[in-house]
């Protein structure tokens, strides 16, 4: 997973966590306009400072109903924005939270069908997590867990089982899973390496490595250097608290 992919997933987490807060704004900013012979999706364009109107091609005005700000359905299909959600069943389609939904056959995340999902056993677990009878999901990513019996979620966006460690739905190539210790601020370590997200923190010493704060963002140190994410820090870049922590 490259840095762009990581940033995208971080943004997805933030959007999921804030969905309830922005729900009212979203409703006023986007909606469907049903007319006698057409259905249009109306949405706000912040750059232009005005609403835009996009036809929902093929929608049936007589049976169309708005489900949420960005979702609607008629007797034939379910829509997100002006696009058909492929294979979604309008009669059984229902939401589990702001992003996850199910129908009689599949589960969906933000309008995207989750291939291989089982709607009968699909359950929302909080934050961006869900599961069904065979696997776990992070946003739209099917994890393919290594050992379901030992699987545990480390919220908000990490998980592990007896054989694998996951960061934002992606398997991290941990070198020694038996010695894995999950730390705060997206750090983890085993007896061989220190990790930030899916990246090895090059040159970091696992034995002496500690994180400053038990929060989602924090600097860290070992006996040689101080770190921010996977980068080594120069003392001049730190405030007094950071310099004190790093001993410089």
Q: What is the DSSP annotation of 47-88? A: TTTEEEEEE-TT--TTT-EEEETTEEE-SS-EEETTEE-TT-
Assigned domain for 208 exists: yes
Query: What is d(CA 161, CA 146) in angstroms, rounded to the nearest whole number?
Result: 7
Sign of torsion over alpha carbons 160, 20, 140, 133: positive
Q: 4-8 contacts: CB < 8 A, separation 24 or more?
A: 6/168, 6/197, 6/198
Within a domain: 42: no
- Nearest 5°: CA angle at 177, between 173 and 178? 170
138 is a domain residue: no
Residue range of the domain that includes 239: 179-246
* Residue 243 burial (10 A CB sphere; 0-12, 13-18, 19+): middle
Q: Residue 69's CB: how many other CB atoms inside 10 A?
A: 20
The reply to whether 189 falls in a domain is yes
Per-residue pLDDT of the chain (248 residues; tens, 9 = 90+): 555 555 555 555 555 555 444 444 444 579 999 988 999 999 999 888 899 999 999 999 999 999 999 999 999 999 999 999 999 999 999 999 999 999 999 999 999 999 999 999 999 999 999 999 999 999 999 999 999 999 999 999 999 999 999 999 999 999 999 999 999 999 999 999 999 999 999 999 999 999 999 999 999 999 999 999 999 999 889 999 999 999 98
* Cα distance between residue 129 and residue 153, in whole Å: 8
Dist CA 166 CA 93 (whole Å)? 30
**In a domain? residue 3:** no
Query: Does any domain span residue 6?
Result: no
| Cβ-based neighbours of 117, under 8 Å, separated by 6 or more | 106, 107, 132, 137, 142
Give a yes or no: residue 222 inside a domain.
yes
Number of domains the chain is built from: 1
Does residue 228 form part of some domain? yes
């Amino acid at each position: 997973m490259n840095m762009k992919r990581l940033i995208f997933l971080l943004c997805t987490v933030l959007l999921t966590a804030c969905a309830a807060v922005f729900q009212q704004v979203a409703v006023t900013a986007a909606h469907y306009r049903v007319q006698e012979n057409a259905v249009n999706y109306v949405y706000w364009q912040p750059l232009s400072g005005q609403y835009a109107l996009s036809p929902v091609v093929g929608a049936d005005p007589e049976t169309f109903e708005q489900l949420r700000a960005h979702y609607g359905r008629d007797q034939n299909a379910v829509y997100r924005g002006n696009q058909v959600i492929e294979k979604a069943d309008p009669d059984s389609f229902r939401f589990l939270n702001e992003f996850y939904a199910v129908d009689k056959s599949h589960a969906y995340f933000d309008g995207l069908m989750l291939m291989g999902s089982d709607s009968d056993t699909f359950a929302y677990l909080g934050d961006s997590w869900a599961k069904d009878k065979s696997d776990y999901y992070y946003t739209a990513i099917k994890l393919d867990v290594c050992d379901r019996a030992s699987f545990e979620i480390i919220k908000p966006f990490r998980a592990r089982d007896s054989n694998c460690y996951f960061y934002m739905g992606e398997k991290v190539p941990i070198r020694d899973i038996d010695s894995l210790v999950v730390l705060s601020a997206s750090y983890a370590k085993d007896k061989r390496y220190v990790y930030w997200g899916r990246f090895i923190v090059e040159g970091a010493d696992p034995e002496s490595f500690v994180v400053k704060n038990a929060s989602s963002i924090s600097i860290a140190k070992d006996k040689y250097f101080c770190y921010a994410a996977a980068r080594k820090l120069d003392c001049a870049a730190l405030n007094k608290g950071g310099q004190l922590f790093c001993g410089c």
